[in-house]
Amino acid sequence: MTYKTLTLATALAATTALGASAETLRWARAGDSLTLDPHAQNEGPTHTLAHQIYEPLVIRDTQGVFEPALATDWAVKEDDPNVWVFNLREGVTYHDGAEMTAEDVVFSFTRAKSENSAMKELLNSVVEIRAVDDYTVEFVTDGPNPILPNNFTNLFIMDSGWAEANDVVEVQDIAGGETTYAASNANGTGPYTLVSREPDVRTVLEQNADYWGLGEFPMEVTRIEYTPIQNAATRVAALLSGEVDFIQDVPVQDLDRVDGTDGLQIKAAPQNRTIFFGMNMGADDIEADDVDGANPFADVRVRQAMNMAINRDAIRQVVMRDQSQPTGVIMPPFVNGWTEALDAVPEGDMDAAKALMEEAGYADGFSVTLDCPNDRYINDEGICQAAVGMLGQIGITVNLDAKPKAQHFPLIQNGETDFYMLGWGVPTYDSEYVFNFLTHTRGDERGSWNNTGYSSEEVDAMIVSLSSETDLEVRDATIAEIWEVMQSETLYLPVHHQVLNWGMRGNVGTEVDVEDQPKFKHFSMQTS
Protein backbone atom coordinates (compact mmCIF):
# COMPACT_ATOMS: atom_id res chain seq x y z
CA MET A 1 0.00 0.00 0.00
CA THR A 2 1.41 3.41 -0.95
CA TYR A 3 1.64 6.31 1.46
CA LYS A 4 -1.15 8.23 -0.30
CA THR A 5 -3.40 5.17 -0.33
CA LEU A 6 -2.74 4.61 3.35
CA THR A 7 -3.48 8.26 4.11
CA LEU A 8 -6.74 8.11 2.18
CA ALA A 9 -7.82 4.88 3.83
CA THR A 10 -7.03 6.34 7.23
CA ALA A 11 -9.03 9.49 6.51
CA LEU A 12 -12.06 7.56 5.26
CA ALA A 13 -11.89 5.16 8.18
CA ALA A 14 -11.83 8.10 10.58
CA THR A 15 -14.85 9.60 8.85
CA THR A 16 -16.77 6.35 9.01
CA ALA A 17 -15.84 5.83 12.66
CA LEU A 18 -17.20 9.25 13.54
CA GLY A 19 -20.50 8.30 12.03
CA ALA A 20 -22.52 10.41 9.63
CA SER A 21 -25.84 11.84 10.68
CA ALA A 22 -28.39 13.06 8.16
CA GLU A 23 -26.79 16.49 8.48
CA THR A 24 -23.23 15.38 7.72
CA LEU A 25 -22.13 15.56 4.10
CA ARG A 26 -19.05 13.55 3.16
CA TRP A 27 -17.69 15.14 0.01
CA ALA A 28 -14.95 14.07 -2.37
CA ARG A 29 -13.44 15.33 -5.59
CA ALA A 30 -10.28 14.68 -7.59
CA GLY A 31 -8.16 17.57 -6.33
CA ASP A 32 -7.94 19.70 -3.23
CA SER A 33 -8.04 23.45 -2.81
CA LEU A 34 -4.60 24.90 -3.45
CA THR A 35 -4.80 27.32 -0.51
CA LEU A 36 -7.22 28.89 1.95
CA ASP A 37 -5.91 32.38 1.19
CA PRO A 38 -8.93 33.75 -0.71
CA HIS A 39 -6.94 35.98 -3.07
CA ALA A 40 -3.90 33.81 -3.77
CA GLN A 41 -5.21 31.51 -6.50
CA ASN A 42 -7.87 31.93 -9.19
CA GLU A 43 -8.79 28.26 -9.48
CA GLY A 44 -12.14 26.47 -9.36
CA PRO A 45 -11.69 23.92 -6.53
CA THR A 46 -9.91 26.60 -4.48
CA HIS A 47 -12.85 28.97 -4.89
CA THR A 48 -15.32 26.15 -4.17
CA LEU A 49 -13.90 25.50 -0.72
CA ALA A 50 -13.58 29.23 -0.10
CA HIS A 51 -17.28 29.77 -0.87
CA GLN A 52 -18.19 27.62 2.13
CA ILE A 53 -16.05 29.72 4.51
CA TYR A 54 -15.80 33.21 2.99
CA GLU A 55 -18.32 35.27 1.03
CA PRO A 56 -18.23 37.81 -1.80
CA LEU A 57 -20.39 40.90 -2.13
CA VAL A 58 -22.47 39.33 -4.89
CA ILE A 59 -22.90 35.71 -5.94
CA ARG A 60 -24.55 33.67 -8.70
CA ASP A 61 -27.10 30.89 -8.34
CA THR A 62 -26.76 27.48 -10.02
CA GLN A 63 -27.88 28.96 -13.35
CA GLY A 64 -25.59 31.97 -13.19
CA VAL A 65 -28.13 34.58 -12.05
CA PHE A 66 -26.93 37.31 -9.65
CA GLU A 67 -27.94 37.10 -5.99
CA PRO A 68 -27.07 39.38 -3.04
CA ALA A 69 -24.44 38.06 -0.65
CA LEU A 70 -22.61 40.48 1.66
CA ALA A 71 -24.06 43.35 -0.36
CA THR A 72 -27.82 43.74 -0.37
CA ASP A 73 -27.94 45.96 -3.44
CA TRP A 74 -25.65 47.85 -5.83
CA ALA A 75 -25.96 50.48 -8.53
CA VAL A 76 -24.07 53.14 -10.45
CA LYS A 77 -24.07 56.41 -8.53
CA GLU A 78 -26.73 58.77 -9.87
CA ASP A 79 -24.47 61.79 -10.30
CA ASP A 80 -21.24 59.98 -11.29
CA PRO A 81 -21.12 57.11 -13.85
CA ASN A 82 -17.58 56.30 -12.72
CA VAL A 83 -18.74 55.17 -9.27
CA TRP A 84 -20.51 51.97 -8.24
CA VAL A 85 -22.19 52.05 -4.82
CA PHE A 86 -22.60 48.82 -2.80
CA ASN A 87 -24.78 48.74 0.30
CA LEU A 88 -23.61 46.11 2.78
CA ARG A 89 -25.64 43.67 4.80
CA GLU A 90 -25.82 44.80 8.44
CA GLY A 91 -25.30 42.57 11.44
CA VAL A 92 -22.86 40.16 9.74
CA THR A 93 -20.07 38.76 11.90
CA TYR A 94 -16.94 36.78 11.19
CA HIS A 95 -16.42 33.35 12.67
CA ASP A 96 -14.47 34.87 15.56
CA GLY A 97 -17.33 37.25 16.36
CA ALA A 98 -15.90 40.45 14.88
CA GLU A 99 -18.34 42.60 12.92
CA MET A 100 -18.03 42.91 9.14
CA THR A 101 -17.92 46.55 7.99
CA ALA A 102 -17.02 48.62 4.96
CA GLU A 103 -13.45 48.88 6.26
CA ASP A 104 -13.06 45.13 5.65
CA VAL A 105 -14.38 45.46 2.11
CA VAL A 106 -11.89 48.22 1.34
CA PHE A 107 -9.10 46.13 2.85
CA SER A 108 -10.10 42.97 0.98
CA PHE A 109 -10.36 44.60 -2.43
CA THR A 110 -7.13 46.51 -1.92
CA ARG A 111 -5.49 43.20 -1.02
CA ALA A 112 -7.03 41.56 -4.10
CA LYS A 113 -5.48 44.29 -6.27
CA SER A 114 -1.97 43.69 -4.91
CA GLU A 115 0.96 42.18 -6.77
CA ASN A 116 0.72 38.61 -5.47
CA SER A 117 -3.04 38.39 -5.90
CA ALA A 118 -4.35 36.04 -8.59
CA MET A 119 -7.51 38.16 -8.73
CA LYS A 120 -6.03 41.52 -9.66
CA GLU A 121 -7.01 41.36 -13.36
CA LEU A 122 -10.63 41.55 -12.25
CA LEU A 123 -10.02 44.97 -10.69
CA ASN A 124 -7.96 46.72 -13.36
CA SER A 125 -10.55 49.45 -13.86
CA VAL A 126 -10.85 50.22 -10.12
CA VAL A 127 -8.77 53.26 -9.13
CA GLU A 128 -10.18 53.84 -5.64
CA ILE A 129 -12.22 51.95 -3.05
CA ARG A 130 -13.72 54.05 -0.29
CA ALA A 131 -15.88 53.47 2.76
CA VAL A 132 -18.64 56.07 2.89
CA ASP A 133 -19.85 54.74 6.23
CA ASP A 134 -19.84 51.37 7.99
CA TYR A 135 -22.23 49.84 5.48
CA THR A 136 -21.61 51.68 2.22
CA VAL A 137 -18.70 51.18 -0.15
CA GLU A 138 -17.94 53.06 -3.36
CA PHE A 139 -15.79 51.69 -6.19
CA VAL A 140 -14.34 54.41 -8.39
CA THR A 141 -13.37 53.29 -11.91
CA ASP A 142 -11.27 54.94 -14.61
CA GLY A 143 -14.32 55.43 -16.78
CA PRO A 144 -17.82 53.96 -16.62
CA ASN A 145 -17.63 50.18 -16.16
CA PRO A 146 -21.02 48.65 -16.98
CA ILE A 147 -20.11 45.11 -15.87
CA LEU A 148 -18.06 45.72 -12.72
CA PRO A 149 -20.30 43.56 -10.44
CA ASN A 150 -19.71 40.61 -12.81
CA ASN A 151 -16.11 40.57 -11.59
CA PHE A 152 -16.96 40.31 -7.90
CA THR A 153 -18.47 36.82 -7.51
CA ASN A 154 -15.21 35.15 -6.42
CA LEU A 155 -13.69 38.12 -4.59
CA PHE A 156 -14.00 37.20 -0.93
CA ILE A 157 -14.15 39.53 2.07
CA MET A 158 -11.61 39.07 4.87
CA ASP A 159 -11.50 40.55 8.36
CA SER A 160 -8.84 43.27 8.26
CA GLY A 161 -8.20 42.94 12.00
CA TRP A 162 -7.66 39.18 11.76
CA ALA A 163 -5.33 39.64 8.79
CA GLU A 164 -3.25 42.20 10.67
CA ALA A 165 -3.13 40.14 13.85
CA ASN A 166 -1.92 37.07 11.96
CA ASP A 167 0.51 38.85 9.64
CA VAL A 168 -1.39 38.00 6.47
CA VAL A 169 -2.11 41.48 5.13
CA GLU A 170 -0.05 40.46 2.09
CA VAL A 171 -1.38 37.79 -0.27
CA GLN A 172 0.38 34.44 -0.21
CA ASP A 173 2.86 34.10 -3.09
CA ILE A 174 1.88 30.64 -4.32
CA ALA A 175 3.95 30.77 -7.50
CA GLY A 176 6.98 31.60 -5.36
CA GLY A 177 6.33 28.67 -3.01
CA GLU A 178 5.37 30.78 0.01
CA THR A 179 3.30 29.41 2.91
CA THR A 180 1.41 31.71 5.27
CA TYR A 181 -1.05 31.52 8.15
CA ALA A 182 -3.93 32.34 5.77
CA ALA A 183 -3.03 29.37 3.56
CA SER A 184 -4.19 26.90 6.22
CA ASN A 185 -6.43 28.99 8.51
CA ALA A 186 -9.56 31.01 7.83
CA ASN A 187 -11.93 33.50 9.41
CA GLY A 188 -14.81 34.33 7.10
CA THR A 189 -18.47 35.28 7.31
CA GLY A 190 -19.64 32.17 5.46
CA PRO A 191 -22.05 29.40 6.42
CA TYR A 192 -19.30 27.02 7.59
CA THR A 193 -16.34 27.40 9.91
CA LEU A 194 -13.03 25.61 9.54
CA VAL A 195 -12.52 22.81 12.09
CA SER A 196 -9.41 21.14 10.68
CA ARG A 197 -7.31 21.25 7.53
CA GLU A 198 -4.88 18.63 6.20
CA PRO A 199 -4.07 19.61 2.59
CA ASP A 200 -4.63 16.77 0.11
CA VAL A 201 -5.92 14.58 2.95
CA ARG A 202 -9.00 15.91 4.76
CA THR A 203 -10.75 19.15 5.61
CA VAL A 204 -13.60 19.40 8.13
CA LEU A 205 -16.12 22.25 8.33
CA GLU A 206 -19.01 22.82 10.72
CA GLN A 207 -22.06 25.03 10.41
CA ASN A 208 -21.61 28.62 11.55
CA ALA A 209 -24.08 28.95 14.40
CA ASP A 210 -24.16 32.74 13.97
CA TYR A 211 -24.51 32.79 10.18
CA TRP A 212 -26.64 35.68 8.95
CA GLY A 213 -28.41 33.41 6.45
CA LEU A 214 -29.65 30.73 8.87
CA GLY A 215 -33.27 31.72 8.25
CA GLU A 216 -32.85 32.29 4.51
CA PHE A 217 -31.23 29.07 3.28
CA PRO A 218 -31.98 25.38 3.97
CA MET A 219 -28.71 24.92 5.91
CA GLU A 220 -29.52 21.22 6.31
CA VAL A 221 -25.84 20.30 6.03
CA THR A 222 -24.35 20.95 9.45
CA ARG A 223 -20.97 19.26 8.98
CA ILE A 224 -18.81 18.79 5.88
CA GLU A 225 -16.05 16.19 5.69
CA TYR A 226 -14.03 16.79 2.54
CA THR A 227 -11.61 14.14 1.24
CA PRO A 228 -9.74 14.74 -2.03
CA ILE A 229 -9.41 11.41 -3.90
CA GLN A 230 -7.27 11.73 -7.00
CA ASN A 231 -7.67 8.14 -8.20
CA ALA A 232 -10.90 7.84 -10.19
CA ALA A 233 -11.59 4.19 -9.29
CA THR A 234 -11.03 4.86 -5.59
CA ARG A 235 -13.28 7.92 -5.73
CA VAL A 236 -16.16 5.94 -7.29
CA ALA A 237 -15.61 3.02 -4.91
CA ALA A 238 -15.97 5.41 -1.97
CA LEU A 239 -19.35 6.57 -3.28
CA LEU A 240 -20.54 3.04 -4.07
CA SER A 241 -19.54 1.76 -0.63
CA GLY A 242 -21.20 4.62 1.23
CA GLU A 243 -17.95 6.11 2.55
CA VAL A 244 -18.80 9.41 0.85
CA ASP A 245 -22.14 10.99 -0.03
CA PHE A 246 -21.23 13.34 -2.86
CA ILE A 247 -18.53 13.46 -5.54
CA GLN A 248 -18.05 16.12 -8.19
CA ASP A 249 -15.85 14.21 -10.58
CA VAL A 250 -17.65 11.02 -11.61
CA PRO A 251 -15.45 9.37 -14.25
CA VAL A 252 -17.29 9.17 -17.57
CA GLN A 253 -16.69 5.42 -17.76
CA ASP A 254 -18.55 4.92 -14.46
CA LEU A 255 -21.64 7.06 -15.06
CA ASP A 256 -23.98 4.16 -15.87
CA ARG A 257 -22.61 2.11 -13.00
CA VAL A 258 -23.25 4.87 -10.47
CA ASP A 259 -26.62 5.89 -11.85
CA GLY A 260 -27.74 2.26 -11.96
CA THR A 261 -26.89 1.59 -8.32
CA ASP A 262 -29.80 1.68 -5.88
CA GLY A 263 -29.62 4.69 -3.62
CA LEU A 264 -27.31 6.68 -5.93
CA GLN A 265 -27.97 9.25 -8.63
CA ILE A 266 -26.15 11.23 -11.31
CA LYS A 267 -26.97 14.84 -12.11
CA ALA A 268 -25.43 16.47 -15.18
CA ALA A 269 -25.19 19.91 -16.80
CA PRO A 270 -22.95 21.76 -19.26
CA GLN A 271 -20.15 23.57 -17.46
CA ASN A 272 -19.01 27.14 -17.95
CA ARG A 273 -15.48 25.93 -18.80
CA THR A 274 -13.44 25.12 -21.91
CA ILE A 275 -10.40 22.84 -22.14
CA PHE A 276 -7.54 23.74 -24.50
CA PHE A 277 -3.80 23.61 -25.18
CA GLY A 278 -1.45 26.58 -25.06
CA MET A 279 1.86 27.00 -26.90
CA ASN A 280 4.79 29.32 -26.26
CA MET A 281 4.78 31.07 -29.63
CA GLY A 282 6.59 34.20 -28.48
CA ALA A 283 10.06 32.89 -27.71
CA ASP A 284 12.81 32.82 -30.33
CA ASP A 285 13.74 29.36 -29.13
CA ILE A 286 12.15 26.99 -26.61
CA GLU A 287 13.65 24.39 -24.30
CA ALA A 288 10.96 21.73 -24.58
CA ASP A 289 11.71 20.76 -28.21
CA ASP A 290 14.57 19.20 -30.16
CA VAL A 291 14.91 22.07 -32.64
CA ASP A 292 18.04 24.14 -32.12
CA GLY A 293 17.87 27.90 -32.56
CA ALA A 294 14.22 28.07 -33.55
CA ASN A 295 10.72 27.80 -32.12
CA PRO A 296 8.29 25.71 -34.20
CA PHE A 297 5.32 27.25 -32.35
CA ALA A 298 6.32 30.72 -33.59
CA ASP A 299 5.13 29.73 -37.07
CA VAL A 300 1.36 30.08 -37.40
CA ARG A 301 1.36 27.25 -39.96
CA VAL A 302 2.57 24.83 -37.31
CA ARG A 303 -0.14 25.98 -34.93
CA GLN A 304 -2.76 25.65 -37.67
CA ALA A 305 -1.52 22.16 -38.50
CA MET A 306 -1.78 21.12 -34.86
CA ASN A 307 -5.29 22.55 -34.69
CA MET A 308 -6.28 20.43 -37.70
CA ALA A 309 -4.66 17.30 -36.28
CA ILE A 310 -6.61 17.26 -33.02
CA ASN A 311 -9.70 15.13 -33.58
CA ARG A 312 -12.16 16.57 -31.08
CA ASP A 313 -14.94 14.19 -32.05
CA ALA A 314 -12.72 11.18 -31.41
CA ILE A 315 -11.84 12.63 -28.00
CA ARG A 316 -15.54 13.13 -27.32
CA GLN A 317 -16.45 9.56 -28.28
CA VAL A 318 -13.49 7.57 -26.96
CA VAL A 319 -11.99 9.56 -24.10
CA MET A 320 -15.05 11.43 -22.85
CA ARG A 321 -17.76 8.83 -23.63
CA ASP A 322 -19.89 11.57 -25.24
CA GLN A 323 -19.60 13.75 -22.12
CA SER A 324 -18.09 16.82 -23.83
CA GLN A 325 -18.95 19.46 -26.43
CA PRO A 326 -16.19 19.77 -29.08
CA THR A 327 -15.36 23.38 -29.92
CA GLY A 328 -13.17 25.66 -31.97
CA VAL A 329 -12.96 28.50 -29.45
CA ILE A 330 -11.73 28.79 -25.84
CA MET A 331 -14.98 30.42 -24.69
CA PRO A 332 -18.02 28.52 -23.33
CA PRO A 333 -21.47 29.21 -24.84
CA PHE A 334 -22.51 30.99 -21.61
CA VAL A 335 -20.18 33.89 -22.39
CA ASN A 336 -20.96 37.23 -24.03
CA GLY A 337 -19.10 37.14 -27.35
CA TRP A 338 -19.74 33.49 -28.13
CA THR A 339 -21.17 32.68 -31.55
CA GLU A 340 -21.93 29.46 -33.39
CA ALA A 341 -19.40 30.44 -36.05
CA LEU A 342 -16.59 30.77 -33.50
CA ASP A 343 -17.65 27.55 -31.82
CA ALA A 344 -17.44 25.55 -35.06
CA VAL A 345 -14.98 22.65 -34.75
CA PRO A 346 -11.95 22.97 -37.05
CA GLU A 347 -12.05 20.58 -39.96
CA GLY A 348 -9.72 17.64 -39.45
CA ASP A 349 -7.52 17.28 -42.48
CA MET A 350 -4.29 15.35 -41.96
CA ASP A 351 -3.07 15.89 -45.53
CA ALA A 352 -3.54 19.65 -45.26
CA ALA A 353 -1.91 19.62 -41.82
CA LYS A 354 1.13 17.74 -43.15
CA ALA A 355 1.36 20.20 -46.04
CA LEU A 356 1.42 23.11 -43.59
CA MET A 357 4.14 21.42 -41.58
CA GLU A 358 6.20 21.01 -44.75
CA GLU A 359 5.66 24.66 -45.75
CA ALA A 360 6.86 25.72 -42.32
CA GLY A 361 10.04 23.68 -42.75
CA TYR A 362 9.07 20.80 -40.47
CA ALA A 363 8.31 18.05 -42.96
CA ASP A 364 10.22 15.66 -40.69
CA GLY A 365 8.46 16.99 -37.62
CA PHE A 366 9.98 17.70 -34.23
CA SER A 367 9.64 16.55 -30.64
CA VAL A 368 8.25 18.54 -27.75
CA THR A 369 7.15 18.05 -24.13
CA LEU A 370 3.48 18.50 -23.20
CA ASP A 371 2.74 19.47 -19.59
CA CYS A 372 -0.61 18.18 -18.41
CA PRO A 373 -2.45 18.04 -15.06
CA ASN A 374 -3.76 14.69 -13.88
CA ASP A 375 -6.18 15.76 -11.13
CA ARG A 376 -7.89 18.95 -12.31
CA TYR A 377 -10.12 18.47 -15.38
CA ILE A 378 -12.32 15.57 -16.44
CA ASN A 379 -10.01 12.91 -17.95
CA ASP A 380 -7.30 15.54 -18.33
CA GLU A 381 -4.43 13.07 -18.70
CA GLY A 382 -6.52 10.92 -21.05
CA ILE A 383 -7.14 13.91 -23.32
CA CYS A 384 -3.43 14.66 -23.37
CA GLN A 385 -2.62 11.04 -24.21
CA ALA A 386 -5.06 11.18 -27.13
CA ALA A 387 -3.49 14.42 -28.38
CA VAL A 388 -0.06 12.75 -28.29
CA GLY A 389 -1.22 10.16 -30.81
CA MET A 390 -3.00 12.67 -33.02
CA LEU A 391 -0.06 15.06 -33.24
CA GLY A 392 2.20 12.11 -33.95
CA GLN A 393 0.33 11.63 -37.21
CA ILE A 394 1.75 14.92 -38.53
CA GLY A 395 5.26 14.23 -37.33
CA ILE A 396 5.22 15.88 -33.92
CA THR A 397 6.57 13.53 -31.27
CA VAL A 398 5.02 14.59 -27.98
CA ASN A 399 6.52 13.55 -24.67
CA LEU A 400 3.78 13.70 -22.06
CA ASP A 401 4.59 14.93 -18.55
CA ALA A 402 1.48 14.65 -16.38
CA LYS A 403 1.52 15.81 -12.77
CA PRO A 404 -0.86 17.09 -10.04
CA LYS A 405 -2.27 20.58 -10.55
CA ALA A 406 -0.32 21.92 -7.58
CA GLN A 407 2.85 21.32 -9.61
CA HIS A 408 1.32 21.98 -13.04
CA PHE A 409 -0.16 25.45 -12.59
CA PRO A 410 3.06 27.14 -11.37
CA LEU A 411 4.70 26.07 -14.65
CA ILE A 412 2.20 28.26 -16.50
CA GLN A 413 2.21 31.11 -14.00
CA ASN A 414 6.02 31.22 -13.93
CA GLY A 415 6.47 30.81 -17.69
CA GLU A 416 8.24 27.47 -17.33
CA THR A 417 6.29 25.45 -19.91
CA ASP A 418 6.20 25.68 -23.69
CA PHE A 419 3.24 23.38 -24.41
CA TYR A 420 0.53 22.81 -21.84
CA MET A 421 -3.10 22.01 -21.07
CA LEU A 422 -5.34 24.56 -19.39
CA GLY A 423 -9.05 24.82 -18.68
CA TRP A 424 -10.75 28.18 -18.30
CA GLY A 425 -14.07 29.04 -16.72
CA VAL A 426 -15.59 32.49 -17.13
CA PRO A 427 -17.38 33.53 -13.91
CA THR A 428 -18.05 37.03 -15.29
CA TYR A 429 -19.87 35.54 -18.31
CA ASP A 430 -18.05 38.08 -20.49
CA SER A 431 -15.16 37.76 -22.97
CA GLU A 432 -13.18 40.49 -21.23
CA TYR A 433 -12.32 37.96 -18.52
CA VAL A 434 -10.75 35.64 -21.10
CA PHE A 435 -8.83 38.46 -22.76
CA ASN A 436 -7.53 39.98 -19.52
CA PHE A 437 -6.00 36.72 -18.32
CA LEU A 438 -5.17 34.83 -21.52
CA THR A 439 -4.68 37.33 -24.38
CA HIS A 440 -3.31 40.61 -23.05
CA THR A 441 0.47 40.95 -22.94
CA ARG A 442 1.72 39.42 -19.71
CA GLY A 443 2.43 42.16 -17.20
CA ASP A 444 1.77 43.40 -13.68
CA GLU A 445 -1.96 43.99 -14.14
CA ARG A 446 -3.04 41.72 -16.99
CA GLY A 447 -2.08 38.56 -18.82
CA SER A 448 -1.02 36.54 -15.77
CA TRP A 449 -2.08 33.26 -17.43
CA ASN A 450 -0.93 34.23 -20.95
CA ASN A 451 2.00 31.88 -21.30
CA THR A 452 1.87 32.00 -25.11
CA GLY A 453 4.20 34.97 -25.40
CA TYR A 454 1.64 36.64 -27.66
CA SER A 455 1.79 40.42 -27.45
CA SER A 456 0.02 43.10 -29.49
CA GLU A 457 -0.23 46.74 -28.48
CA GLU A 458 -3.30 47.14 -30.68
CA VAL A 459 -5.09 44.16 -29.14
CA ASP A 460 -4.03 45.24 -25.63
CA ALA A 461 -5.60 48.65 -26.23
CA MET A 462 -8.84 47.04 -27.38
CA ILE A 463 -8.92 44.82 -24.29
CA VAL A 464 -8.38 47.76 -21.95
CA SER A 465 -11.17 49.68 -23.67
CA LEU A 466 -13.73 47.02 -22.76
CA SER A 467 -13.75 47.99 -19.08
CA SER A 468 -15.00 51.52 -19.78
CA GLU A 469 -17.07 51.21 -22.97
CA THR A 470 -20.72 51.87 -22.13
CA ASP A 471 -22.05 51.60 -25.69
CA LEU A 472 -22.74 47.87 -25.66
CA GLU A 473 -22.91 47.62 -29.46
CA VAL A 474 -19.45 49.17 -29.76
CA ARG A 475 -18.19 46.98 -26.94
CA ASP A 476 -19.52 43.80 -28.55
CA ALA A 477 -17.96 44.79 -31.87
CA THR A 478 -14.59 45.17 -30.13
CA ILE A 479 -15.01 41.76 -28.50
CA ALA A 480 -15.74 40.21 -31.90
CA GLU A 481 -12.67 41.88 -33.39
CA ILE A 482 -10.41 40.51 -30.65
CA TRP A 483 -11.77 37.01 -31.14
CA GLU A 484 -11.14 37.31 -34.88
CA VAL A 485 -7.48 38.10 -34.16
CA MET A 486 -7.16 35.23 -31.67
CA GLN A 487 -8.68 32.74 -34.08
CA SER A 488 -6.59 33.89 -37.04
CA GLU A 489 -3.43 33.62 -34.93
CA THR A 490 -4.46 30.16 -33.63
CA LEU A 491 -3.40 31.46 -30.26
CA TYR A 492 -4.72 28.35 -28.49
CA LEU A 493 -5.87 24.87 -29.51
CA PRO A 494 -9.44 24.46 -28.19
CA VAL A 495 -10.62 20.94 -27.38
CA HIS A 496 -14.08 21.00 -25.80
CA HIS A 497 -16.49 22.53 -23.32
CA GLN A 498 -16.73 20.36 -20.22
CA VAL A 499 -19.91 18.58 -19.14
CA LEU A 500 -20.37 18.17 -15.39
CA ASN A 501 -21.51 14.95 -13.76
CA TRP A 502 -22.12 15.00 -10.03
CA GLY A 503 -22.72 11.73 -8.21
CA MET A 504 -24.58 11.57 -4.92
CA ARG A 505 -26.63 9.49 -2.60
CA GLY A 506 -30.38 9.57 -3.16
CA ASN A 507 -30.98 11.62 -0.02
CA VAL A 508 -28.76 14.48 -1.21
CA GLY A 509 -30.73 17.20 -2.92
CA THR A 510 -29.10 19.79 -5.17
CA GLU A 511 -28.90 21.05 -8.73
CA VAL A 512 -25.62 21.08 -10.64
CA ASP A 513 -23.92 24.46 -10.57
CA VAL A 514 -22.63 25.51 -14.01
CA GLU A 515 -19.48 26.85 -12.32
CA ASP A 516 -18.90 23.44 -10.66
CA GLN A 517 -19.12 25.21 -7.30
CA PRO A 518 -21.55 23.43 -4.97
CA LYS A 519 -22.72 25.73 -2.21
CA PHE A 520 -23.71 23.44 0.60
CA LYS A 521 -25.94 25.92 2.40
CA HIS A 522 -28.46 25.22 -0.41
CA PHE A 523 -28.26 21.41 -0.16
CA SER A 524 -31.03 19.34 1.34
CA MET A 525 -30.38 16.11 3.24
CA GLN A 526 -33.53 14.01 3.32
CA THR A 527 -33.88 10.87 5.43
CA SER A 528 -33.34 7.93 3.09
pLDDT recorded at residue 308: 97
- Nearest-5° angle of CA 31, CA 331, CA 34? 20
| Residue 130 pLDDT exceeds 80 | yes
pLDDT recorded at residue 14: 41
* Cα Rg of the chain (Å, integer): 23
Residue-wise burial string across 374-404, b where 16 or more C-beta atoms lie within 10 A, e elsewhere: bbbbbbbbbbbbbbbebbeebbbebeebbeb
* pLDDT tens, residue by residue, 357-384: 999 999 999 999 999 999 999 999 999 9
pLDDT recorded at residue 8: 44
| Residue 462 pLDDT exceeds 70 | yes
Burial class from Cβ neighbours inside 10 Å (0-12, 13-18, 19+) for residue 502 reads: buried
Mean pLDDT of the chain: 94
β-bridge mates for residue 246, sequence order: 27, 504
424 Cβ contact list (under 8 Å, min separation 6): 273, 274, 276, 330, 434, 437, 438, 449
Q: Set out the domains of the chain in order of their start, with CATH numbers.
A: 3-245+507-525 (3.40.190.10), 272-498 (3.10.105.10)
pLDDT recorded at residue 347: 87
pLDDT recorded at residue 527: 62
Least confident of 11-25, 146-160, 194-208, 283-297: 11-25
* pLDDT tens, residue by residue, 210-236: 999 999 999 999 999 999 999 999 999
* pLDDT tens, residue by residue, 137-171: 999 999 999 999 999 999 999 999 999 999 999 99
- Kindly report the backbone phi and psi dihedral angles of residue 69, in degrees, each rounded to the nearest multiple of 5, phi listed first: -125, -105
pLDDT recorded at residue 3: 28
| pLDDT category of residue 63 using cuts at 50, 70 and 90 | confident
pLDDT > 70 in the chain, percent: 95
| Residue 9 pLDDT exceeds 60 | no
- Distance, in Å, from the CA atom of 327 to the CA atom of 339, rounded to the nearest integer, reads 11
- Distance, in Å, from the CA atom of 496 to the CA atom of 510, rounded to the nearest integer, reads 26
Q: Is the pTM of this model over 0.75?
A: yes
Residue-wise burial string across 250-265, b where 16 or more C-beta atoms lie within 10 A, e elsewhere: bbbbbbeebeebeebe
- Distance, in Å, from the CA atom of 481 to the CA atom of 488, rounded to the nearest integer, reads 11
Burial class from Cβ neighbours inside 10 Å (0-12, 13-18, 19+) for residue 200 reads: middle
* Angle of helix 457-465 versus helix 472-489 axis, rounded to 10: 150
| Sign for the pseudo-dihedral over CA of 282, 286, 291, 294 | positive
State the pairing for strand pair 492-505/264-279. Answer: antiparallel
Arithmetic mean of pLDDT, 491-512: 97
Arithmetic mean of pLDDT, 456-485: 97
β-bridge mates for residue 372, sequence order: 402
Arithmetic mean of pLDDT, 293-312: 98
- Kindly report the backbone phi and psi dihedral angles of residue 44, in degrees, each rounded to the nearest multiple of 5, phi listed first: -55, -60
| Residue 41 pLDDT exceeds 60 | yes
